[in-house]
C-alpha cells in the first residue's frame, strides 16, 4: 500500500514537472535524497523526509510536512537534504506550511559538499538570505541555486535582538515548517532543457551554469578570461565570444587588454583613440607612419588615405600634396624648374633636370642659356661682344661693348663709312661737308650761269616774243648767283 502511494505520487510529479526542464533531484527518477533536521519532529508523522516526499500540499493536517517540536523553544533550527551524489542544482522550490510560513522570516539557504557541514560557518556557500526587515516570506518560494553541490541546508535563527517587519512572525523562537523542497537540476556536468547538454570541458571541473552552460564557476585554463573560457593569445582580445586582433597600437608594443581590447598603458606614439586605433592628426596609413603633405590652410589629411580632402597648397600635387606639380621644386615647391628636355619636370628636391636640357640650355638646371645664346628659348646668337664675352642671356646685350667694326646694343650691326664720318669725327665731318656743299653749289651756279648766258644770247635774236619773262628770271637769280660766287670764292681761298 505504501509503495503504491509513492509510485503514484512519483507519476503525478513527473506530470507536474513538465513545465520545468529540470529533474527533481531528491524525488524524481529514484533519486532519493536523505533529509534531516536539527530537532525532533513535533509529531512522528512530520519527519524531515516529509519535505522531500513529492507532496507539496501545505496543510500540516495532511502529514506531508516536516515540522519540529515547538515546545522546546528553539532559537536556531535547520533542515538539510543530502543528495545521492553531487548534482548541478538549478533552483529550489520551497513550500512552507500554509498557517506558519511567516515564522520562516530571516531564513537562509546554503549548499554544502561534506556531510559534516555545520551551518552557517561557511558563508561562501550561502545561496539565499531572507531579510527579516523585508516583510514576510511568501508561502511558496523559488530560489535560484545554480551550483554543483551535494547538500542543501535551510536554516533559521533568532539571535538576541532579532527583529522582523513580518508582523505575525515569532521573533524569539523558530521552528521548521516545511512541507516540500524540490531540488531542481541536472547531473553535475550537464545543463539546460531536459539536462540534454554537457558542460564544456573548458569549464573548471566541467561545472557550468545550469541554465545556459556558461563556465560561471571558472575555467580549466587559468589564462582564460571570460565565461566562455576562451584563451586569447597576445595581440588579440575577446569580442563577442571570439578572439580578435587588438584594434590599435599600445605603448611599447605591448598586447592590448585581452578582455577590453584597450591599451592599459596608453597608446604608441602617433596613435590615439579609445583603442589606440587612429593616427594622431597629421599622420596616416596603417602604421601611422605617413606624414600628411602640404594640405591647404595647413589642414589635416585623411588618416587612412593621406589625401588632403580640401586640396593642396599652391604648386603641390593632388591628392597627397607631397610632391610638387611638374615644373616646380624646392622645400615649398615654390621654385620653377629650368627648361628640361622634352618639357619634363625637374627633380623635386634638387631641381636638376635628370635627362638633360632643351637645346641651347645648360645642364644640370637648364636655367641658363649656353654661352653666346640668348632669348626666351636661348635660340638667338649673341652678337660680337668685346673681348669675346657672351652677351646677356636675357637681353642679348653685350655687357662691355662690341668688337671693332660692330655696333648696336647686340653688336650685330656692321659699322659703315657714313657711320664712321658721322659719329666719331665730328669736326672732319663738318669741314668736309661744307666744302662739298660749297663745291656742288659753285658747280651748279656755274652750270646755270652758262645755260643762262647762252640762252640770253639766243633770245636777243627773238627779243620781241617773250621780253618780260626773261627779265623776271634774271631779276630773281642775279643776287643769289652773285652771293654764291662770293661764297665759293672765299671757300676756295680757305682751301
Ligand atoms: C487543512 O485541512 C483540513 C481538512 O483536511 C481543513 O479543515 C483545514 O481548514 C485545512 N487548513 C488549512 C490552513 O487550509
Ligand atoms: C523557478 O525559477 C526557475 C528559474 O530560476 C524557473 O525556471 C522555474 O520555472 C521556476 N519555478 C516555478 C515553480 O516558478
Ligand atoms: C549565462 O547566465 C549567466 C548568469 O547565470 C550569465 O552571466 C551569462 O552571461 C549567461 N551566458 C550566456 C551565454 O548567456
Ligand atoms: C604576452 O604578453 C605579456 C605582456 O607583454 C608577456 O609578459 C608574455 O610573455 C607574452 N606571452 C607570449 C606567449 O608571448
Ligand atoms: C607598416 O609597418 C610594417 C612593419 O613595420 C611594414 O612591413 C609595412 O610596409 C608598413 N606599412 C605601411 C603602409 O607603411
Ligand atoms: C632627386 O635628387 C635626390 C638628391 O638630391 C635623390 O636622392 C633622388 O633620388 C632624386 N629623385 C629622383 C626621382 O631622381
Ligand atoms: C509562529 O506561527 C504562529 C502562527 O502563525 C504560531 O502561533 C507560533 O507558535 C509560531 N512560532 C513558532 C516558534 O513556530
Distance CA 210, CA 212 (A): 6
Distance CA 390, CA 398 (A): 7
Cβ-Cβ contacts under 8 Å for 92 (sequence gap 6 or more): 109, 127, 142, 143, 145, 152, 181, 182, 183, 184
137 and 102 in contact (C-beta within 8 Å)? yes
| Ligand approaching nearest to the C-alpha of 172 | 7
Omega prior to 364 cis, within 30 of 0: yes
Distance CA 418, CA 421 (A): 5
Q: Where are the alpha helices (DSSP H) in 231-317?
A: none
Query: 159: buried, middle or exposed (CB in 10 Å: 19+, 13-18, 0-12)?
Result: exposed
CA dist 373 → 295, 356, 376 (Å): 41, 17, 10
Distance between Cα 12 and ligand 2 center (Å):
18
- Dihedral angle over CA of 249, 255, 258, 260, nearest 10: -30
64 and 90 in contact (C-beta within 8 Å)? no
Q: Counting atoms of ligand 3 from 1, which one is nearest the CA of 213? A: 1
- Dihedral angle over CA of 207, 211, 212, 215, nearest 10: -20
Q: Where are the alpha helices (DSSP H) in 17-126?
A: none
Q: Counting atoms of ligand 5 from 1, which one is nearest the CA of 285? A: 13
Nearest to 158 by CA among 102, 193, 106, 231: 106
Query: 143: buried, middle or exposed (CB in 10 Å: 19+, 13-18, 0-12)?
Result: middle
208 and 217 in contact (C-beta within 8 Å)? yes
Q: Is 305 in the pocket of ligand 5 (CB under 6 A)?
A: no
Distance CA 442, CA 429 (A): 20
| pLDDT (0 to 100) of residue 4 | 35
107 and 137 in contact (C-beta within 8 Å)? yes
Distance between Cα 212 and ligand 2 center (Å):
14
3-state percent helix, strand, coil for the chain, nearest multiple of 5: 25, 25, 50
126 and 120 in contact (C-beta within 8 Å)? yes
Q: Counting atoms of ligand 6 from 1, which one is nearest the CA of 348? A: 1
Distance CA 314, CA 320 (A): 13
Beta bridge partners of 94: 141, 181
Distance between Cα 236 and ligand 5 center (Å):
19
Distance between Cα 137 and ligand 7 center (Å):
14
Going by CA atoms, what residue is nearest to atom 6 of ligand 7? 100
pLDDT by residue for the chain (495 residues), tens only, comes to 333 333 333 333 333 345 568 999 998 888 889 999 999 999 999 999 999 999 999 999 999 999 999 888 889 999 999 999 999 999 999 999 999 999 999 999 999 988 777 666 667 889 999 999 999 999 999 999 999 999 999 999 999 999 999 988 888 999 999 999 999 999 999 999 889 999 999 999 999 999 999 999 999 998 888 888 888 999 999 998 889 999 999 999 999 999 999 999 999 999 999 999 999 999 999 999 999 999 999 999 999 999 999 999 999 999 999 999 999 999 999 999 999 999 888 999 999 999 999 999 999 999 999 999 999 889 999 989 988 888 998 888 998 889 988 888 888 888 886 554 444 444 445 555 655 766 767 687 676 766 666 666 554 454 444 444 433 333 433 334 334 444 444 333 333
Tell the CATH topology of 2-195.
Jelly Rolls (2.60.120)
| pLDDT (0 to 100) of residue 56 | 93
Q: Is 228 in the pocket of ligand 3 (CB under 6 A)?
A: no
- Beta strand pairing status for 66-67 and 177-187? antiparallel
| pLDDT (0 to 100) of residue 71 | 84
Nearest to 232 by CA among 258, 210, 214: 258
Q: Give 403-410's long-range contacts (Cβ < 8 A, gap of 24+).
A: 408/383, 410/382, 410/383
Nearest to 157 by CA among 142, 169, 172: 172
405 and 415 in contact (C-beta within 8 Å)? yes
Which helix H or strand E contains 450, and what residues bound it? helix 426-461
Going by CA atoms, what residue is nearest to atom 3 of ligand 1? 61
Which helix H or strand E contains 410, and what residues bound it? none
Q: Is 286 in the pocket of ligand 5 (CB under 6 A)?
A: yes
- Beta strand pairing status for 406-407 and 413-414? antiparallel
Handedness of CA 367, 372, 376, 377 (dihedral sign): negative
Domain boundaries in the chain? Answer: 2-195, 281-322, 324-368, 370-425
8-state DSSP, 335:
E
204 and 109 in contact (C-beta within 8 Å)? no
365 SS3 class:
coil
Handedness of CA 369, 375, 380, 386 (dihedral sign): negative
- Beta strand pairing status for 34-37 and 242-245? unpaired
Q: Is 254 in the pocket of ligand 4 (CB under 6 A)?
A: yes
Distance CA 402, CA 415 (A): 11
Q: Is 98 in the pocket of ligand 1 (CB under 6 A)?
A: yes
220 and 191 in contact (C-beta within 8 Å)? no
230 and 241 in contact (C-beta within 8 Å)? yes
Task: Say what angle helices 467-494 and 426-461 make with each other, to 10 degrees.
Answer: 150
Distance between Cα 95 and ligand 3 center (Å):
28
137 SS3 class:
coil
Distance between Cα 245 and ligand 4 center (Å):
15
Ligand 2 site residues, Cβ closer than 6 angstroms: 20, 91, 93, 142, 144
Distance between Cα 235 and ligand 4 center (Å):
9
Amino acid at each position: 500500500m505504501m509503495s503504491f502511494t509513492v509510485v503514484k505520487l512519483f507519476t503525478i510529479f513527473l506530470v507536474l514537472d513538465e513545465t520545468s526542464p529540470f529533474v527533481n533531484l531528491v524525488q524524481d527518477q529514484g533519486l532519493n535524497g536523505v533529509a534531516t533536521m536539527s530537532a525532533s519532529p513535533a509529531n512522528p508523522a512530520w519527519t524531515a523526509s516529509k519535505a522531500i516526499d513529492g507532496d507539496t500540499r501545505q496543510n500540516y493536517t495532511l502529514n506531508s510536512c516536516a515540522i519540529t517540536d515547538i515546545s522546546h523553544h528553539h532559537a536556531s533550527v535547520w533542515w538539510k537534504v543530502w543528495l545521492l551524489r553531487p548534482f548541478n542544482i538549478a533552483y529550489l522550490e520551497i513550500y512552507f506550511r500554509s498557517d506558519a510560513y511567516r515564522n520562516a522570516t530571516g531564513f537562509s539557504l546554503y549548499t554544502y559538499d561534506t556531510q559534516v557541514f555545520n551551518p552557517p560557518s561557511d558563508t561562501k556557500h550561502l545561496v539565499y538570505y531572507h531579510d527579516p526587515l523585508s516583510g514576510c516570506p511568501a508561502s511558496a518560494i523559488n530560489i535560484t541555486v545554480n551550483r554543483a553541490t551535494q547538500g542543501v541546508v535551510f536554516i533559521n535563527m533568532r539571535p538576541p535582538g532579532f527583529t522582523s517587519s513580518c508582523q505575525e512572525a515569532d521573533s524569539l523562537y523558530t521552528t521548521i515548517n516545511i512541507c516540500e523542497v524540490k531540488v531542481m537540476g541536472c547531473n553535475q556536468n550537464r545543463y539546460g532543457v531536459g539536462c540534454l547538454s554537457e558542460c564544456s570541458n573548458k569549464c573548471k571541473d566541467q561545472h557550468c551554469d545550469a541554465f545556459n552552460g556558461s563556465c560561471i564557476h571558472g575555467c580549466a585554463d587559468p589564462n582564460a578570461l571570460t565565461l566562455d573560457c576562451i584563451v586569447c593569445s597576445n595581440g588579440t582580445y575577446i569580442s563577442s565570444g571570439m578572439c580578435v586582433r587588438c584594434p590599435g597600437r599600445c605603448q611599447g608594443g605591448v598586447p592590448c587588454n585581452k578582455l577590453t581590447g584597450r591599451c592599459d598603458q596608453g597608446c604608441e606614439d602617433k596613435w590615439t583613440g579609445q583603442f589606440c586605433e587612429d593616427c594622431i592628426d597629421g599622420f596616416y596609413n596603417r602604421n601611422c607612419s605617413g606624414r600628411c603633405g602640404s594640405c591647404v590652410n595647413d589642414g589635416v589629411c585623411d588618416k587612412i588615405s593621406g589625401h588632403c580632402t580640401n586640396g593642396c597648397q599652391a604648386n603641390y600635387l593632388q591628392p597627397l600634396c607631397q610632391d610638387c606639380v611638374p615644373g616646380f621644386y624646392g622645400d615649398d615647391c615654390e621654385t620653377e624648374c629650368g627648361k628640361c628636355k622634352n618639357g619634363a619636370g625637374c627633380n623635386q628636391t634638387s631641381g636638376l633636370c635628370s635627362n638633360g636640357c632643351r637645346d641651347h640650355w645648360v645642364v644640370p638646371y637648364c636655367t641658363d642659356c649656353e654661352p653666346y645664346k640668348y632669348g626666351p628659348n636661348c635660340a638667338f646668337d649673341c652678337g660680337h661682344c668685346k673681348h669675346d664675352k657672351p652677351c646677356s642671356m636675357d637681353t642679348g646685350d653685350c655687357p662691355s661693348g662690341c668688337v671693332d667694326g660692330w655696333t648696336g646694343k647686340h653688336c650685330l650691326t656692321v659699322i659703315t663709312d657714313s657711320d664712321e664720318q658721322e659719329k666719331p669725327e665730328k669736326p672732319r665731318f663738318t669741314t668736309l661737308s661744307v666744302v662739298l656743299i660749297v663745291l656742288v653749289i659753285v658747280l651748279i651756279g656755274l652750270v646755270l650761269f652758262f645755260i643762262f648766258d647762252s640762252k640770253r644770247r639766243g633770245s636777243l635774236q627773238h627779243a620781241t616774243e617773250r621780253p618780260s619773262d626773261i627779265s623776271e628770271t634774271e631779276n630773281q637769280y642775279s643776287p643769289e648767283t652773285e652771293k654764291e660766287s662770293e661764297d665759293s670764292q672765299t671757300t676756295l681761298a680757305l682751301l
